[in-house]
Structure 1
Amino acid sequence: MPQGPPPVRTAAFLGLGAMGTPMAARLARLLPTLVWNRTAGKAERHAAEYGTQAATLAQVAQADVILSCLPTSAEVGGLMAALLPDLRPGSVWIDCTSGHPVSARAQAALLAPCGVAFLDAPVSGGPLGAQAGTLAVMVGGEEEVLERVRPLLESFGRVVLRVGPSGSGFAVKAVNNTLMGLHLLSLAEGLASLKLQGALLEPALDILNASSGRSFSSEAKFSQQVFNRRFAANFALGLLAKDAGIALENVQDVKGSAPLLAHTAMLLRAAQHSLGSDLDHTAAVRMVEDWNGVELT
């Protein structure tokens, strides 16, 4: 009788940034988890705090499932190339990076001859969602592979859905993040115009949140980040601009038409150049404030 895929007994997590740290911690509640970070001390601290095991890349290669959460597909590709000779047939690589669909398809093709399956599975919900295990996970790849590793993804994700073949998860994430940028900037423009007209911003925002103009940006970002001028670093402006650029490239690849997404990508890139890549993405509203000569407080 043909044998099914080997059982999942161990996992490895690559990349312990703002998202990776809590995701790996929740994964470790489910099964033994190796952790790796380019800065080794970060992995050692994670192991001490969350009961994971700091590992070398050689040890990571022997895990049943490898998860990565890095800034871009390029970093994932570099690690994949280094690990490729040692990966175990029957294992699965899950990339939770906000990556590029073209890279997902190329990486899936690279792993397949080694007997390693690949899923692109970016997440949405921020560090707080990762800590609470309430992330949305959008998965590209084969359904049977997803079902095999679903418990791992559900350790940090409340909604785990396959959205299509390889690359589809990354494509959906790019659109999601571009829409977040569009909502953020359009709300900033609307509030700036209201302030110039003498309206009170906090009650105006409360009305918007009770009306059809509400969004995640209006319900959470402005009250928690903008009005109090915190702009606390949770998701970098440079990364949001990168994701919007990916969404625009995807539209161009299929010869679609998306002028609003294109304009949003352009504005986010302008904000990145003006303000810097490392500020939280909510700081992009400062560009709108500068256009209008007001501060959204």
Structure 2
Amino acid sequence: MDETSPTGSPSAGSPPTIGVIGLGRMGAPIARALTAEFAVGGFDIDPTRGGSVPGLRSFGSVGDLAAASDVLVTVLPGLAELQEVMRSALPALRRGGLWADLTSGDPAVTRDLAAQVHERGIDVVSAPMGGSVAEAERAALIFYLGGAESAVERALPVLRPLSRPDGLRRAGSRPEDGQIVKLLANGLWFAHALAAAEALLIGQGWGMQPSDLHRLLRDSAGGSRFLDDHAERLLDGDYLTTFGLDRVVDELDAVAAMGRVAGAPTPVLDASGAAHRAALERYGSELGELLAVRMLEEDAGRTLRRERR
């Protein structure tokens, strides 16, 4: 028997039933972590993916999963997939339930979807993720939480098993606030990666070894999260192939649109967006967050690699 209150929310003391939509590179490890503490159902457009999550109850449709879940968690590749899923999920969501969206999307779309969900008596938390597939596997993600305080409090027990100790970061009281922070953070990272690669190529052209220059720049006034945590992988020839270049461009286009709405000039972020669009034209929708850096290397006629001693 389903132990729910008349509103459809779980009875006091009863753990909520979690539904996860999206069981890909990020969604599968998230669902695996949740099955340790909750009853979890799942749906993915590829029905074979549910088999990678022991203990998961697979559903045949978005609507069926949404109707069976106290908390619906969406972990999708991007905005288009989110909008398509919510067209089917929205009519089936339980009144009194909670929708937690972990997708990196668009604040305007999040605001509009949240308004529709709220009209049905359902709480909304936008919690776009920061982190890699490896960090998802280690349950060491960062989440930027946007939503009413009461909704966030409901979401915390679901998100805490997925995050690192300091990973639950309050962005604001509106669902779109989480998306704003995440998109701006990503926009800065992509710009920092390009600027750092340009600096390393300049130094290399003047006879310095990229790894030596990286070590010096990392601890300088020009340091960045990219230089701290990710440039080492570039020097090993890794272009971070867990995120598609087309998704990078989608996010940078969303940042540019945010700037226009805000009336803020964005020449640096626009230049980064143009470079990433040029990389997309060259390589297509390949996996690789640093493919725009690969384009710089090709245009310079050399690669940024650790020297062999």
Instruction: Give the TM-score of the pair, scaled to structure 1.
Output: 0.92
Q: Shift in Å at residue 232 of structure 1? A: 4.7
Deviates more, 1:70-79 or 1:139-148: 70-79
Distance 1:60 1:46, change over 3 A: farther
Contact 1:251 1:258 in 2 (8 A): yes
> Counterpart in 2 of 1:67?
73
Distance 1:278 1:202, change over 3 A: same
> Counterpart in 1 of 2:115?
109
> Counterpart in 1 of 2:4?
none
2:151 aligned residue (145, 155, 159): 145
Deviates more, 1:230-239 or 1:176-185: 230-239
Q: How many residues align?
A: 291
User: Percent sequence identity over matched residues?
Assistant: 28
Provide Cα deviations, 1:118-171, integer angstroms capped at 9, x if missing partner. Answer: 221101011122122221100221111000121111111232122121211111
Gap regions ≥5 residues in structure 2: 1-6
The answer to whether structure 1 residue 239 and structure 2 residue 279 are counterparts is: no
> Counterpart in 2 of 1:157?
163
Deviates more, 1:269-278 or 1:167-176: 269-278
The answer to whether structure 1 residue 53 and structure 2 residue 60 are counterparts is: no
Distance 2:105 2:132 in 1: 16
Contact 1:98 1:174 in 2 (8 A): yes
Q: Shift in Å at residue 243 of structure 1? A: 1.1
Gap regions ≥5 residues in structure 1: none
Say which SS state the counterpart of residue 237 (structure 2) adopts. coil
Q: Shift in Å at residue 4 of structure 1? A: 11
The answer to whether structure 1 residue 34 and structure 2 residue 47 are counterparts is: no
Distance 2:98 2:179 in 1: 17
The answer to whether structure 1 residue 287 and structure 2 residue 261 are counterparts is: no
The residue type equivalent to 1:42 in the other structure is: R
Distance 1:236 1:74 in 2: 14
Contact 1:143 1:162 in 2 (8 A): no
Cα RMSD (Å):
1.9
The answer to whether structure 1 residue 271 and structure 2 residue 271 are counterparts is: no
Say which SS state the counterpart of residue 257 (structure 1) adopts. coil
Contact 1:124 1:136 in 2 (8 A): yes
> Counterpart in 2 of 1:212?
221
Distance 2:23 2:8 in 1: 32
Contact 2:8 2:97 in 1 (8 A): no
The answer to whether structure 1 residue 24 and structure 2 residue 31 are counterparts is: yes
The residue type equivalent to 1:200 in the other structure is: Q
Q: Shift in Å at residue 51 of structure 1? A: 2.1
> Counterpart in 1 of 2:180?
171
> Counterpart in 2 of 1:196?
205
Contact 2:104 2:179 in 1 (8 A): yes
Distance 1:79 1:279, change over 3 A: closer
The answer to whether structure 1 residue 15 and structure 2 residue 22 are counterparts is: yes
Distance 1:25 1:171, change over 3 A: same
Distance 1:137 1:214, change over 3 A: same
Say which SS state the counterpart of residue 138 (structure 1) adopts. strand
> Counterpart in 1 of 2:3?
none
